[in-house]
């Protein structure tokens, strides 16, 4: 069974598994940016491994001997997050019974990883901007300025340009964060790595559950490579753990995975998605063409209205899959963001897509 080191073919990043071309590019870029102290912005869908990249940046940097502090910005309210990041002094608010050191102060000399940076309130973004620009802040309820030497790595699963357009994110903060952007690809774009990930997770969960090391038949790998993995690596990890627990023998056979993953159950819903290199209009007209053929003679008058209906549903489905992130949806649909904006307005999809 492969270890992390043996599986780690993607440029030698600690903890990052993959040998696909796209992951090799990500790892090469990660190594390049690690040597500096510049701010890094990690983008990518939930479950793609952005935190692994953030930790690798720290461990490969000159700051590796310093602290690595992680903050999930989406898990706390505005007031709690402010206190968590910057600390507070005794009496600053009702429950402030003593002074508290914030995460920025604790990260002095090291790296702070701000996960789900898009969740930070507009008001608190002003304080973050100051830390980025001046490397200084005040604790909540205090007037004394604290200077810190901290490298910031931020991550988001949303398109911050869309958040700026919606007045939820400050444009000046975005440009301060987006010094060294790294986009972590979804698992569906690196399916050659699935066999390595399967092997690693199977070994890990077999050991933790005192089970024998399982073998993974080629049929299982092939079926899993055909699934779209909306939950990305995290979803694969969870299903491998489930398979290890349920396996009656020492093989991870397809029946140990959920039917919708291996394509054997009626619960599976297959997304209509353009293939690479094909835009939404060509896919829509192909689908409509098939519909018209099935409808037979006399269906010509239905063509344009059917095109509109099918295109609307396709746009809506992809927007929902991308959680309303228009840049990602436009890329998947094969159109630019301006065209997508126009189509969203044309079909009135703004509210529905979110």
Q: What is the pLDDT of residues 268-288, one digit of tens each?
A: 344 444 444 445 555 555 555
Percent over 70 (pLDDT), the chain: 81
What are the pLDDT digits (tens) for 48-60? 999 999 999 999 9
Q: Which fold would CATH assign to domain 280-353?
A: Arc Repressor Mutant, subunit A (1.10.10)
Q: Which fold would CATH assign to domain 35-73+101-137+148-185?
A: Rossmann fold (3.40.50)
Sign of CA dihedral 52, 54, 57, 63: negative
| 295 SS3 class | helix
* pLDDT higher than 50, residue 40: yes
**Radius of gyration over alpha carbons of the chain, in Å?**
24
Q: Where are the domains of the chain?
A: 35-73+101-137+148-185, 188-262, 280-353
0.85 surpassed by pTM: no
| 351 SS3 class | helix
Q: What is the mean pLDDT of residues 121-129?
A: 93
CATH of domain 188-262: 1.10.8.60
**Nearest alpha carbon to residue 28 among 65, 64, 53, 55:** 53
For residues 5 and 156, give the distance between their C-alpha atoms in angstroms, rounded to a whole number. Answer: 28
């Amino acid at each position: 069974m492969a270890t992390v080191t043996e599986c780690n073919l993607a440029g030698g990043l600690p903890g990052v598994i993959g040998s696909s071309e796209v992951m090799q590019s990500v790892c090469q870029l990660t190594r390049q940016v690690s040597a500096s102290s510049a701010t890094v912005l990690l983008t990518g869908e939930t479950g793609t491994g952005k935190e692994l990249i953030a930790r690798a940046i720290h461990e490969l940097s000159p700051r590796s001997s310093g602290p690595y502090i992680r903050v999930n910005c989406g898990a706390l309210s505005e007031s709690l997050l402010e206190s968590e990041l910057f600390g507070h002094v005794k009496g600053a608010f009702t429950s402030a019974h003593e002074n508290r050191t914030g995460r920025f102060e604790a990260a002095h000399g090291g790296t702070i990883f701000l996960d789900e940076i898009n969740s930070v309130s507009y008001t608190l973004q002003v304080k973050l901007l100051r830390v980025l620009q001046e490397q200084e802040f005040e604790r909540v309820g205090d007037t004394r300025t604290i200077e810190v030497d901290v490298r910031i790595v931020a991550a988001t699963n949303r398109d911050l340009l869309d958040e700026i357009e919606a007045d939820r994110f400050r444009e000046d903060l975005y440009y301060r964060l987006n010094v060294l952007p790294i986009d972590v690809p979804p698992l569906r774009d690196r399916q050659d790595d699935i066999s390595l990930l399967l092997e690693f997770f199977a070994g890990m969960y077999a050991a933790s559950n005192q089970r024998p090391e399982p073998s993974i038949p080629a049929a299982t790998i092939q079926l899993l490579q055909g699934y779209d993995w909306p939950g990305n690596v995290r979803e694969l990890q969870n299903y491998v753990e489930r398979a290890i627990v349920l396996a009656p023998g020492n093989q991870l056979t397809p029946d140990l995975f959920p039917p919708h993953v291996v394509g054997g159950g009626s619960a599976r819903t297959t997304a209509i998605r353009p293939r690479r290199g094909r835009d939404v209009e060509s896919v829509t007209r192909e689908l409509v063409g098939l519909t018209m053929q099935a409808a037979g003679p006399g269906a010509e008058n239905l063509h344009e209205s059917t095109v509109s209906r099918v295109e609307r549903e396709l746009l809506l489905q992809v927007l929902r899959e991308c959680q309303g992130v228009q840049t990602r949806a436009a890329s998947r649909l094969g159109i630019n963001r301006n065209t997508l904006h126009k189509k969203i307005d044309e079909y009135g999809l703004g509210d529905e897509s979110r």
